[in-house]
Amino acid sequence: MRSDIVWKAVAFLMAAVVSGSAGAQDLPEPIDLSDAMAFADVYASHYAAPLDVLIDGDEETQWGCGNHDLSEAPANVFIMLPEPVTVGLMEVVIPIHPEPEKYPMRIANMDVYAGVEDGWAKIGEVRDNTEQPRFLIELTPARVDRIRLRVLPRSEEVTGWAMMTEVRLYPPLEGVEPVELEPEPIPVTETEQVRLRRAFNYYRLAMLPESPPEGRSVPTVSFDPEIGYLGYVRSFFDTMLEHGTDRYGEEHSPQWAGILDLETRTHPDAELPTVHCISDNQRPVDRILYGGNIQHDVMLLLAAHHVSEITGDDRYRDAARDYLQFFLDNCTDTPTGLWPWGEHSGWDFYEEKRAGREIHHLLSQPREFWELAYELNPEAVIRECDGIINHIRDLETFVYNRHASITEALPDPRPEDVAKGGLDFANSAARYLRLWAFAYSKTGDEKYLQWSNKLVDHLEWSRIDGDGALPVLSNRSYRPLPDQPDWGNTRLVGISMLRSLPLLGDTETAERYERLGTEYLRITAENDMPAEDYEPQFTTGRGMGDFPNRVLQWLEAYRLTGDERHLEAARRIGEAFRNAEIPTEAPLRLQALALPTAWFVGLHELDGDPKWLDAAERYAQWAIEHFYYNGLFRGTTDLWYYDSQLGGATMIYALVRLHVALNDLDVDVPPNIYAF
């Protein structure tokens, strides 16, 4: 371990052949990088760490900086060597875009540095590479233990999207002797300084044997019946109240951090790689690294209220209300009214501003959440309800896009290029319908009924002939898939309509919802039944395709209609999972245990069979033993930190409901209906 070394590493982007470089046929054997570590200070969607992809010998794997403005701050890639070696050449391989005339070389300008004492010395560069996807850089021969690739903009017009697939180091050619290097200053912007600090915090954590970022066997616990399920829940909330609030940057707040180190119970302030686990990899846009996303905490906020009701300890309810109040009062006043939350956006605790992407992608929240939010700040809730119109791409057809800008409102009328359509997944429409029904119940404003009916018109127009299901996407979408029935989302729309009925009163819209909602659920009951020999899959994909994500909806469809076919579908999945071997050969996401725990409790409530509670306890105890540590729940079985995006809220809420069911408490803790 070289804990005394700071600011080290390697991994950079593509560049041009440097005049005077040796030919490929003259290259000596490459330096063995199998024990080296690579990391970067900037990652992009689909290209995030572990950054060993740049030194793994596989030119299909790649790293990229995404649409980061390299003129504001160059991207830095580091290669840390296990022991000093003498370098003389570097080979860089970059991917080629299918339309190279539109998207030039992914790396055109880059500087290469070697670590010297506590600084850096420049040993090579690439300039104006416009043609070479594979090139050599002649380096100043030197003995080094770390390399730094500092990637610069390709041009004044193209400042982002640098990408590399492989980096190789070679010793000098025969007869070339290494020279002594002198460190030199590198002027960096404040943005680059912050990124470098976070990159090296990650490296420092990687070098600590008790807390490496990947691959370690983290401490586990034995389930203690004396503590009980509610005891572990209270331990989690106690930890969040004492250690998990926003105490970063200049302004502290009662919001809860999305990432906490299990040992220190503080935010690591590190550029963490994305998580890879069974059939379910995390994207960088899925979480907020340096703050939080209240979307991931919705069920925690509700669970805190129920725990206070059960225990008589108001601290949990008060903390949840303080968190939500601060968010509503300080984070939601945007140009469109749309909140910075959902799948892509959140709040940065260090800089006190919106974080992630300026994209609104509404996910599912139960009515209980909206009631609580409206009680605390009705104006903020109505701004969100009204802002949903920014998702509507055509005000005549009401074709919509699941993504909408948080900062730029669409004009009325819509421009022609905007009105061409978007990705109109039906699950997004279901959320809009529920939210507009809520807004109507609070305001009586007829516009919400008008908007809702026009959106339903679009859904009805897009139904597939024959079975009557909703498609994955309508052919108004710019990526139409009109002939593929989407049973999960058809069911979700039906559930949303029927659950909205109490909010709509005696209106024609309510009559329409009751008729169509019943029809949608009948259609899915007739067509979407898992096989009796279904093999359990411990996946938690983002869509509705995975059966574990559907069971909560099957249970709710049965509650709403009494149709036994929905309950039978849930039972079949329950039987498959009840005695299934929980996989341990690869990292497992907490959500993969949280969902079965939740729907086993639901199955017991609906048919009374004690075997479902036995199964819920089995999954809950396994989750506690493999995910719980020091008052927190890690995100996957091999992670050293809590990550709210990976299922903690679902697990906590399920444990509260399990406690209520086992103790037959007269406490109303509604079922979790929406997996995401």
- Over residues 404-449, the pLDDT tens digits come to 999 999 999 999 888 888 899 999 999 999 999 999 999 999 999 9
pLDDT at 56: 87
Mean per-residue pLDDT of the chain: 90
Q: What is the pLDDT of residues 394-405, one digit of tens each?
A: 999 999 999 999
Closest CA to 92 of 12, 34, 161: 12
CA distance 461 to 105: 44
616-662 pLDDT per residue, tens: 999 999 999 999 999 999 999 988 899 999 999 999 999 999 999 99
Predicted pLDDT of residue 2: 26
Please give the backbone phi and psi of residue 454, each rounded to the nearest 5 degrees, phi first: -70, -35
Q: What is the DSSP letter of 50?
A: P
The CA-atom distances, in angstroms, between 369 and each of 332, 373, 376, 653 are: 16, 6, 11, 13
How high is the pLDDT of residue 202? 86
Residue 588 CA to residue 538 CA, distance in Å, equals 8
> How far apart are alpha carbons 616 and 594 in whole angstroms?
9
List domains and CATH numbers for the chain.
24-207 (2.60.120.260), 235-269+286-530+541-580+592-663 (1.50.10.20)
| More reliable by pLDDT, 18 or 133 | 133
Contact 18, 124 (CB under 8 A): yes
Q: Are strands 359-360 and 353-356 parallel, antiparallel or unpaired?
A: unpaired
pLDDT of 480 strictly over 90: no
Tokens of 224: 């203690």
Please determine, for residue 219, whether its predicted confidence score (pLDDT) is greater than 80.
Answer: no
- Quote the pLDDT of residue 46: 47
Find the length of the chain.
676
End-to-end CA distance of the chain: 41
Task: Look at residue 661 in the predicted model and tell me its pLDDT.
Answer: 98
How far apart (Å, rounded) are the C-alpha atoms in residues 83 and 464? 63
**Residue 210, pLDDT score:** 53
The answer to whether the beta carbons of residues 288 and 307 sit under 8 Å apart is: no
User: Which of residues 480 and 579 earns the better pLDDT score?
Assistant: 579
Q: How many whole angstroms separate alpha carbon 524 and alpha carbon 25?
A: 63
Strand partners, 222: none
Q: Give the residue from 398, 412, 383, 512 showing the smallest Cα distance to 455.
A: 398
**Is the preceding omega at residue 482 within 30 degrees of 0, hence cis?**
no
DSSP 530-587: --TTPPP-----SSS-SHHHHHHHHHHHHHHH--HHHHHHHHHHHHHHHTPPPP-SS-
Which pair of structure tokens corresponds to residue 616? 């819920």
In angstroms, the CA 460 to CA 478 distance is 18
pLDDT at 621 (0 to 100): 98
Q: Say yes or no to pLDDT of 543 above 60.
A: no
Whose structure tokens read 């790293």?
63
Q: Which of 39-53, 318-332, 334-348, 458-472 has the lowest mean pLDDT?
A: 39-53
| Tokens representing residue 477 in the block | 């979408």
Q: What is residue 415's predicted lDDT score, i.e. its pLDDT?
A: 92
Containing 628, the helix (H) or strand (E) segment is: strand 628-629
Asked whether the bond before 219 is cis by omega within 30 degrees of 0, the reply is: no
Question: What is the mean predicted confidence (pLDDT) over 62-72?
Answer: 87
Question: What CA–CA distance (Å, rounded) separates 207 from 3?
Answer: 7
pLDDT at 214 exceeding the cut of 90 = no
Mean pLDDT computed over 546-574: 93
32-46, 145-159, 279-293: which is most confident: 145-159
| Rounded mean pLDDT, 8-36 | 54
pLDDT for the residue 15: 30
Residue 467 has pLDDT above 50, yes or no: yes
SS3 assignment, position 292? strand
Question: Per-residue pLDDT for 45 more than 80?
Answer: no
Distance CA 192, CA 190 (A): 5
Distance between CA atoms of residues 497 and 434, nearest Å: 7
If DSSP codes are grouped into helix, strand and coil, which group holds residue 412? Answer: coil
Instruction: Give the least confident one: 124-133, 154-163, 518-527.
Output: 154-163
To 10 degrees, the CA torsion angle through 667, 673, 675, 676? Answer: -100
Give yes or no for a contact between 373 and 324, defined as CB atoms under 8 angstroms apart: yes
SS3 readout for 233-286: HHHHHHHHHHHCEECCCCCCEEEECCEEECCCCCCCCCCCCCCCCCCCCCCHHH
pLDDT digits (tens, 9 = 90+) for 580-609: 999 988 889 999 999 999 999 999 999 999
The CB density around residue 408, as the number of other CB atoms within 10 Å, is 11
Of 10 and 114, more confident: 114
Helix (H, G, I), strand (E, B) or coil at 344: coil
Name the pLDDT band for 26 (thresholds 50, 70, 90). low
DSSP state of 141: E
Q: Using CA atoms, how far apart are residues 324 and 160, in angstroms rounded to an integer?
A: 36
How far is it, in rounded angstroms, from Cα 436 to Cα 504?
Answer: 10
The CA distance from 154 to 57, in Å, is 25
Q: pLDDT tens-digit profile of 239-293?
A: 999 999 999 999 999 999 999 999 999 999 998 878 877 767 788 778 899 999 9
Nearest to 208 by CA among 1, 401, 21: 1
Q: What contacts 189, CB < 8 A, 6 or more positions away?
A: 72, 73
CA distance linking residue 327 with residue 338, whole number of Å: 13
More confident residue, 42 or 446: 446
For the segment 29-42, the average pLDDT, to the nearest whole number, is 92
Q: Which two structure tokens, joined as six digits, stand for 50?
A: 């572990």
Average pLDDT over residues 300-313: 98
CA distance 516 to 497: 8
Query: Token digits for 360?
Result: 């609104």
Average pLDDT score over residue span 361-375: 97
Lowest mean pLDDT among 20-34, 216-230, 494-508, 589-603: 20-34
- For the residues 200-227, what does the mean pLDDT come to? 75
Tell me, what DSSP letter sits at residue 358?
Answer: S
- Distance between CA 496 and CA 507 in Å, rounded? 17
Burial group, residue 246, by CB count within 10 angstroms (0-12, 13-18, 19+): buried
The tokens describing 668, both together, are 């109303």
Which pLDDT score is estimated for 208? 66
Closest by CA position to 404, among listed 451, 335, 480, 475: 335
| pLDDT over threshold 70, residue 89 | yes
pLDDT (0 to 100) of residue 484 = 85
Q: What angle do CA 74, 75, 81 make, to 5 degrees?
A: 130
Give me the residues paired with residue 148 across strands: 78, 113
